[in-house]
Amino acid sequence: MPDTKPRHIVCLALPAWEAEYLRSTVELMKSLSERNLVLYVDYAYTISDLIKGITGKKKFDWKRLIGLKKRLRKISAGKDGTGLYVLSLPPVFPAFMLKSERLFRLANKFNAAISGYFINKAIAHLQMQDVIAFNSFQPFLGKYWNISNVTFNVYYIYDDFSNVPWFNGFAVSAERQYLANTDLVIVTSSELKKRQQLLNKPVEIVNNGVHFDCFFKNRNLKRFNEGYIKTVGYTGVIDNRIDVEMLERVIGSMQKTRFLFVGKVADQSVYNRLVKYINVCFEPPVPVNEVPLIQSQIHVGIIPYVCNELTAAIYPLKVNEYLAMGLPVVMTSFALLNDCADVVYVADGYHDFKHRLELALLENDTTLQEKRICIAKKADWQVRADQLQDLVDEYKSRQSLIKEQVKA
| CA separation for the pair 35, 7 (Å, rounded) | 8
| CA separation for the pair 108, 141 (Å, rounded) | 6
Segment of 79-83, 170-174, 403-407 carrying the highest mean pLDDT: 79-83
Where do runs of H (alpha helix) occur along 21-169? 24-32, 47-54, 101-125, 139-142
Q: Around 117, how many Cα atoms within 13 Å sit in the side-chain half-sphere?
A: 7
231-235 β-sheet, strand order: 280-283, 258-262, 231-235, 300-303, 329-332, 345-347
Does the pLDDT of residue 165 top 70, yes or no?
A: no
Q: What does the pLDDT look like over 84-127, one tens digit per residue?
A: 999 999 999 999 888 888 999 999 999 999 999 999 999 999 99
- List the chain domain ranges: 8-209+380-407, 212-377
Class at the top of the CATH hierarchy for domain 212-377: alpha beta
150-157 β-sheet, strand order: 72-77, 83-87, 37-41, 8-13, 131-136, 150-157, 184-187, 203-205
| CA separation for the pair 30, 288 (Å, rounded) | 15
Does the pLDDT of residue 227 top 80, yes or no?
A: no
- pTM listed for this prediction: 0.94
Q: What is the dihedral of CA 221, 224, 229, 231, to 10 degrees?
A: -60
Would you give the distance in Å from CA 79 to the centre of its chain?
28
| CA separation for the pair 275, 388 (Å, rounded) | 41
- The CB-based long-range contact list for 397-403 (8 Å cut-off, 24+ gap) reads 399/152, 399/183
Helix pair angle (170-179, 101-125), 10° resolution: 50
For β-strands 83-87 and 72-77, DSSP reports them as antiparallel
| CA separation for the pair 306, 334 (Å, rounded) | 6
| CA separation for the pair 318, 321 (Å, rounded) | 5
Question: Are 8-209+380-407 and 212-377 equal in CATH topology?
Answer: yes
Q: What does the pLDDT look like over 186-224, one tens digit per residue?
A: 999 999 999 988 778 999 999 999 999 999 999 876 666
* 373: Cβ contacts below 8 Å, ≥ 6 apart: 216, 219, 323, 324, 326
Class at the top of the CATH hierarchy for domain 8-209+380-407: alpha beta
Would you give the distance in Å from CA 126 to the centre of its chain?
27
| CA separation for the pair 159, 15 (Å, rounded) | 12
Does the pLDDT of residue 69 top 90, yes or no?
A: yes
Better pLDDT: 97 or 348: 348
Q: Which residues of 19-50 are buried (b: 16+ CB within 10 A; e: fewer)?
A: eeebbbbbbbbbbbbbbbbbbbbbbbbbeebb
Q: What does the pLDDT look like over 277-288, one tens digit per residue?
A: 999 999 999 999
Strand partners, 205: 187
pLDDT tier at 164, thresholds 50, 70, 90:
low
Amino acid, res. 345: Y
Q: What does the pLDDT look like over 381-406, one tens digit per residue?
A: 999 999 999 999 999 999 988 877 77
| DSSP reduced 3-state for 260 | strand
Q: What is the CA radius of gyration of the chain?
A: 22
Rounded to a whole number, what is the largest CA-CA distance in the chain? 75
